[in-house]
Each structure stands twice: as structure tokens, then as C-alpha cells.
């Protein structure tokens, strides 16, 4: 119900041209958008598993709106403008996290048709593999489990999940992912092994739902690079940096950068922190990024970037499946998210 009220509210906000007013009132800045997946228009976009997806049609409408009210620029241009402090209008930067194959299949055609560039941050360990993100594994296994009771035994923790309805599967997924994000990376494989043992006979994610879960291969990454897209790093295994020792974190950062450079034959200058919250990375990680030659890094801290911003803590606005076009307009024009 709250969602419906929100949608109606944003619809009227849009009709009343309030979004334009907010945009006009704002100081010029750089709005960086985070996408993850663009899926076919026929995809079950309302499902929880699709919370970070937009359909191809939604993506096209969003890009067209941005083109009307913002100048869409590359992340490299944005970094250079922020450094100079020379912003004369509203700019937008399109970014994609993780490295899903649907970026190539459904986002790239729209970007090419609309003649705009984007940065794609890759989890390099998954490129060209039949595997998917550990966070996706957890949600997928809990949502597709044939058994309605799951018991997980860890050295210092026990989980008992009853997966009777969709709500309980969502709760279990949120709880388990949050627990793992707060603990050391050693628990992760243990949890995945126990879950896989208990869910019954189901297809793995990339076979069960390829449009949602499959990853790019290097051929596709090269084609995106050739089409003028920027390719950035997003670690090798998508482990949160705070889950890792300094040595492990350095390995994750340097490996993802090296693999991209080796495959594309050019420098990889930009990085996106997995999860990207304020506490998911620290000064040491920023020092590693600088030492490795990165020029900027994006977070998931919401907001608009102004001159003087720390280029290794750039803010972004996450685009989810809940954003109707009026909600999207309100977010990117600052009428809703004023942080
Ligand atoms: Zn990610």
C-alpha cells in the first residue's frame, strides 16, 4: 500500500513539473547512476530476485529523460570536471556493477542507439565462467529450494529457516547475506556448501534464469570496449573489502585491474567498491587503489557529486525495479533524495 501511495505521489509530482523545479534550483553537479541488470521487457521484473533490474523499455525511457535534462558524460570526463571544479550544468554518468551478460544483450543496444557511454565495473573472477555472484547464489537457492526447512551449522552460529512463503524467503536471504557481509570470508563457502546440499534437485542459477544471472565473457567485454564503453574493476570475487585481510584485499583489487588491462590492452582507471556502503572500505583500501594507479572510485553512498568531492568516495544513486518513471525522475532531479 505504501508503495502505491508513493507511486501516486511521484506521478503528481511529475505532472506538476516539481522535478524540473528541483533540478533548476540545484547547484550544478554530477549525478552518477548505478545499474546492475537490464532484462527483456517480458521478465518478471516485480520479483524480489529482480530488485536491481530494469526492463529494456524502462532503461530506454530513463536514458531519454536523462538526455533531456542532463548532459550524459563518461566517468573520466566527470572526474576531470570535478577536479577542475568547473561545472556549468547538470551532468549524469551511467554505471553498471558486477558484469552481467544482460548488460551486453539488453543495455548495450540502447546505449548505442542513444549514443551514450557508460562504465561497466566487472567482477573479473566471474567473466567467462558459468558461475554467479555469491550473493545471487544465496538468494537463488533460498527462493528455489524444494525443501521448506533449511538448517545451517557454522562454528559460532546456527540458522534455522522456514521457507513457507515469499516473505520468509526474502527474510532468510536478507539475514544470511547481512550475516556473511559482517563476518570473515571463511564462512562463505561453508554456507554455500550446506545450502546446496539442502535445497534438493534444482538447476544452477545461470541455467535456471540465464537472463538474470549469467556473466559476460571476455569477447563481449571487448565488444563493449570497442563500442566506446569504459570498463572498470569491481574486485575479483565480489567479496566486501571489510571481510578481508589487507593482503586479500590487495589481491582482489590488483587482480581485477590486471585482468582487465591484459584482456583489453589499455589502462583500467576506475573502481567500484562491492556493496559500497560507508563502512565497506577504509583508508587503507583507498591507498591501495591509488598505489595501483586507479584515478577514481565510486561508492553506493547516495547523493550528487559537487566540486571538491573526494574522487575515491564518489556518490551514486541506485536504480531499482521499484522505480516507475516519475520515481526515477524524482530521484535523479533531487526532489526525493536530497542527501
Ligand atoms: Zn557489486
pLDDT in tens, the chain (339 residues): 567 777 777 676 666 565 666 666 678 899 999 999 999 999 999 999 999 999 999 999 999 999 998 999 999 999 999 999 978 889 999 999 999 999 999 999 999 999 999 999 999 999 999 999 999 999 999 999 999 999 999 988 899 999 989 999 999 999 999 999 888 767 889 999 999 999 999 999 999 999 999 999 999 999 999 999 999 999 999 999 998 999 999 999 999 999 999 999 999 999 999 999 999 999 999 999 999 999 999 999 999 999 999 999 999 999 999 888 888 988 887 766 544
CA atoms within 13 A on the CB side of 143: 20
pLDDT for residue 339: 44
Residues β-bridged to residue 37: 53
97 C-alpha vs ligand 1 centroid, how far in Å?
A: 5
Characterize the bridge pairing of strands 317-318 and 296-298. Answer: unpaired
| Contacts for 273 with CB less than 8 Å, ≥ 6 apart | 241, 280, 281, 285, 297, 298, 299, 300
132 C-alpha vs ligand 1 centroid, how far in Å?
A: 11
pLDDT for residue 28: 87
CA atoms within 13 A on the CB side of 231: 33
300 DSSP assignment? S
pLDDT for residue 1: 58
For the four alpha carbons of 36, 40, 43 and 45, in that order, the dihedral sign comes to positive
Q: Which three cell numbers stand for residue 214?
A: 549469467
239 C-alpha vs ligand 1 centroid, how far in Å?
A: 9
Q: H or E element: which one contains 177?
A: helix 166-182
Length of the chain, in residues: 339
177 C-alpha vs ligand 1 centroid, how far in Å?
A: 13
327 C-alpha vs ligand 1 centroid, how far in Å?
A: 23
11 C-alpha vs ligand 1 centroid, how far in Å?
A: 30
C-alpha angle 137-142-148 in degrees, rounded to nearest 5 = 155
Q: Which three cell numbers stand for residue 237?
A: 570475487
pLDDT for residue 18: 56
333 C-alpha vs ligand 1 centroid, how far in Å?
A: 24
Query: Which of 268, 22, 324 is CA-nearest to residue 122?
Result: 268
| CB crowding 231-244: b at 16 or more within 10 Å, else e | bbbbbbbbbbbbbb
Gap between the Cα atoms of 316 and 124, Å rounded = 22
273 C-alpha vs ligand 1 centroid, how far in Å?
A: 7
92 C-alpha vs ligand 1 centroid, how far in Å?
A: 20
Amino acid at each position: 500500500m505504501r508503495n502505491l501511495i508513493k507511486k501516486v505521489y511521484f506521478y503528481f509530482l511529475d505532472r506538476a513539473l516539481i522535478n524540473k523545479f528541483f533540478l533548476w534550483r540545484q547547484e550544478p553537479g554530477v549525478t552518477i547512476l548505478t545499474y546492475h541488470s537490464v532484462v527483456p521487457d517480458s521478465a518478471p521484473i516485480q520479483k524480489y530476485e529482480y530488485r536491481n533490474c530494469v526492463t529494456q523499455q524502462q532503461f530506454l525511457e530513463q536514458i531519454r529523460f536523462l538526455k533531456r535534462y542532463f548532459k550524459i558524460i563518461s566517468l573520466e570526463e566527470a572526474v576531470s570536471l570535478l577536479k577542475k571544479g568547473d561545472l556549468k550544468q547538470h551532468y549524469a554518468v551511467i554505471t553498471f556493477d558486477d558484469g552481467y551478460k544482460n548488460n551486453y544483450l539488453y543495455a548495450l543496444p540502447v546505449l548505442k542507439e542513444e549514443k551514450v557511454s557508460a562504465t561497466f565495473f566487472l567482477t573479473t573472477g566471474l567473466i567467462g565462467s558459468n558461475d554467479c555472484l555469491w550473493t545471487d547464489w544465496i538468494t537463488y537457492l533460498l527462493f528455489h529450494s524444494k525443501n521448506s526447512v533449511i538448517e545451517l551449522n557454522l562454528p559460532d552460529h546456527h540458522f534455522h529457516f522456514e521457507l513457507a512463503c515469499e516473505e520468509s524467503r526474502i527474510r532468510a536471504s536478507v539475514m544470511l547475506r547481512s550475516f556473511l557481509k559482517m563476518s570473515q570470508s571463511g564462512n562463505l563457502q561453508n554456507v554455500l556448501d550446506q545450502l546446496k546440499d539442502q535445497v534438493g534437485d534444482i538447476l544452477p542459477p545461470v541455467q535456471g534464469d540465464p537472463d538474470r544471472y549469467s556473466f559476460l565473457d571476455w569477447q563481449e567485454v571487448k565488444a563493449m570496449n570497442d563500442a566506446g564503453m569504459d570498463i572498470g574493476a569491481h574486485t575479483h570475487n565480489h567479496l566486501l573489502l571489510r571481510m578481508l585481510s589487507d593482503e586479500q584485499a590487495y589481491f582482489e583489487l590488483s587482480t581485477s585491474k590486471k585482468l582487465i588491462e591484459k584482456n583489453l590492452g589499455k589502462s583500467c582507471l576506475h573502481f567500484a567498491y562491492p556493496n559500497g556502503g560507508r563502512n565497506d572500505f577504509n583508508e587503507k583500501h583507498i591507498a591501495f587503489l591509488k598505489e595501483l594507479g586507479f584515478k577514481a572510485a565510486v561508492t553506493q553512498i547516495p547523493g550528487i557529486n559537487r566540486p571538491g568531492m573526494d574522487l575515491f568516495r564518489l556518490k551514486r544513486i541506485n536504480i531499482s525495479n521499484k522505480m516507475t518513471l516519475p520515481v526515477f525522475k524524482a530521484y535523479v532531479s533531487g526532489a526525493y533524495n536530497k542527501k
